[in-house]
Structure 1
Amino acid sequence: MQMRPAELAAIRAGDVDVAFRRWDRPRVKAGTRMRTAVGLVEVTAVERVPVRSLTAADARRAGAVSLAALRQALDRVHAERPVYRIGLRYAGADPRQALREAVPDAEEIAALVAWLDRLDRAAPAGPWTRATLLLIDELPATRAPDLARRMGRETLPFKQNVRKLKERGLTESLDIGYRLSARGAAVLDHEGHPRAVRGLPVRAPGTPLPRLGAGATRALTARGLVSLEQVAELSAAEVGALHGVGPYALGHLRAALDAAGLAFRA
């Protein structure tokens, strides 16, 4: 189920708790927890409803400016399909975030090493796990197609492999490419691999930036701004003046700062 960044932010804030979609059949079910850019979003209910039954209260709960606007949006595409009301609630942070920030102990490292070995043994194209982790460590924030090319792989299989590593908290996705997590760094260090950033923190301490889009991310990281705490040292005008940071990114940063108990410098 696709949701726009503004819709996700409103769900997290509790301002939106329902969505309407035209589907040929239900594509989610009650109890489903979806991983999103703001964390986990849980589906609380799925119900087919007639368009004529929608009310102004439904529109407000869905974040629409009016009932007419909600109906127009539903009629814009696939008007022949039935309408479903999907109940939604914010269910907390993505557990993978805490996982990748936690440095594993010796027992956890042994389990992760064994799991990586199993992946390598089962791969038709041969071992790939350590090479992928080392490449991401060497070239963080690099496009997946470029990384895949460096490994002589097609992009889709490469991204599928990285997703497996991400599920275990060894990597994390950025607006552009990936970076190695503290958990992934601990595994490579344990095995004695010659890492590009060996002995250095994987990333600056603080709250990571939200997903802002490639242009805004490049603009901020070029200034050395990689955490919300660093962004909070600047005014909104200063951040907005960076080439690549538009109104959407600025608004998303403002919401992320607020959620973290921070704000732009006055």
Structure 2
Amino acid sequence: MLIRRADLERIASGTVTLAFRRWTRPTVKAGTRLRTAIGVVEIVSVVPIGDDDVSEDEAAAAGFPSRERLFRDLRAGEGRTLHRIALRFAGADPREGLRRDDALGADDLADLAAALARLDRAARDGAWTMATLEIIRLRPETRAADLAGALGRSTPDFKRDVRKLKELGLTESLDLGYRLSPRGYAALDRLAAARSERG
């Protein structure tokens, strides 16, 4: 479920508490927690409704000045049902704290090395984690397509893999491209040093 940045900010402030979507089938369910640019948004409920069930107050709670503007904004299409989605801001993205944590003990480093090795083993095109971290370190704020091309990879595959590194707290997404997090810098330096020592 995509949410516009302006709406995310109003969800965080508590001024937007509803969203409306026309779906052939819901893409979220109650209890889903979405990690977004402003933190975690929790889906409280998802209810199929008719157009007549939407009040002016609900349109306002979804960030629209009127029902008319809300319905102009909704996606149309055959077989789509209107859904009312109640949502709330559920706090900061837990990865934020992880990204800032660059005090890697021996156990932390071993866990990261094992996680990266698993990702490399699972890749059909061979190991990619260290090369991806290194190119992001060398070329922050560079378009994903350019980084992917430099590594001889497709852009969708590259973006998918960077998201895996982000889950480990090693990278951060920017308006343009990526950068290593403090944890990513520390991990890359220490893992590279460990590999050099092993020869």
Please confirm whether the aligned pair reaches a TM-score higher than 0.5, indicating the same fold.
yes
Measured at CA, do residues 26 and 124 of structure 1 come closer, stay the same or move farther in structure 2, by a change above 3 Å? closer
Query: 1: distance between equivalents of 2:79 and 2:150?
Result: 46
Question: In the alignment, which residue of structure 2 is the partner of 1:89?
Answer: 88
Corresponding residue SS for 1:72? helix
Seen in structure 2, the aligned counterparts of structure 1 residues 79 and 51 have a Cα distance that, compared at 3 Å, is farther
Identical pairs, percent:
52
Aligned in 2, Cα 1:126/1:26: closer, same or farther, shift over 3 Å?
A: closer
Residue 62 of structure 1 aligns to which amino acid in structure 2?
A
Matches within 5 A, 1:1-266: 1-74=1-74, 77-78=76-77, 81-103=80-102, 104-193=104-193
Contact 1:22/1:79 (8 A) holds in 2: no
Give the Å deviation of 1:17.
Answer: 0.3
Residues 90-99 or 183-192, more deviating? 183-192
Report deviation, 1:79.
Answer: 6.8
**Structure with the larger RCO, 1 or 2 (CA within 8 Å, 6+ apart):** 2
Instruction: Compute the displacement of 1:72 (Å).
Output: 3.0
Give the Cα separation in 1 of the matches to 2:47 and 2:126: 47
- Measured in 2, the distance between the counterparts of 1:94 and 1:11 equals 14
Q: Distance in 1 between matches of 2:143 and 2:46?
A: 37
Count of aligned pairs between the two proteins? 192
Residue 149 and residue 12 in structure 1: after superposition, are their counterparts in 2 closer, same or farther (change >3 A)? same
Segments of structure 2 that go 5 or more residues without pairing to the other structure are: 194-199
Residues in 1 aligned to 2:50 and 2:121: alpha-carbon distance in whole angstroms: 53
* Distance of 1:85 and 1:53 partners within structure 2: 9
Q: TM-score scaled by structure 1?
A: 0.69
Higher deviation after alignment, 121-130 or 141-150: 121-130
> Is the partner of 1:84 in helix, strand or coil?
strand
* Structure 2: distance between partners of 1:79 and 1:118: 44
Structure 1 segments, 4+ long, off by >4 Å, are: none
Question: What is the CA-CA distance between 1:91 and the residue it aligns to?
Answer: 0.5
Contact 1:42 1:90 in 2 (8 A): yes
What RMSD in Å do the two structures reach over aligned CA positions? Answer: 1.5
Q: What SS does the corresponding residue of 1:92 show, helix, strand or coil?
A: coil
Preserved CA contact (<8 Å) 1:41 1:90? yes
* Structure 1 gaps, min length 5: 194-266
TM-superposition CA deviations, 1:30-51 (whole Å, max 9, x none):
0000011111100000111111
User: What is the TM-score normalised by the length of structure 2?
Assistant: 0.90
Letter in 2 for 1:111: D
* 3-state SS in 1 of match to 2:85: strand
- The structural deviation recorded for 1:126 is 2.0
Deviation at 1:26, TM superposition (A): 1.7
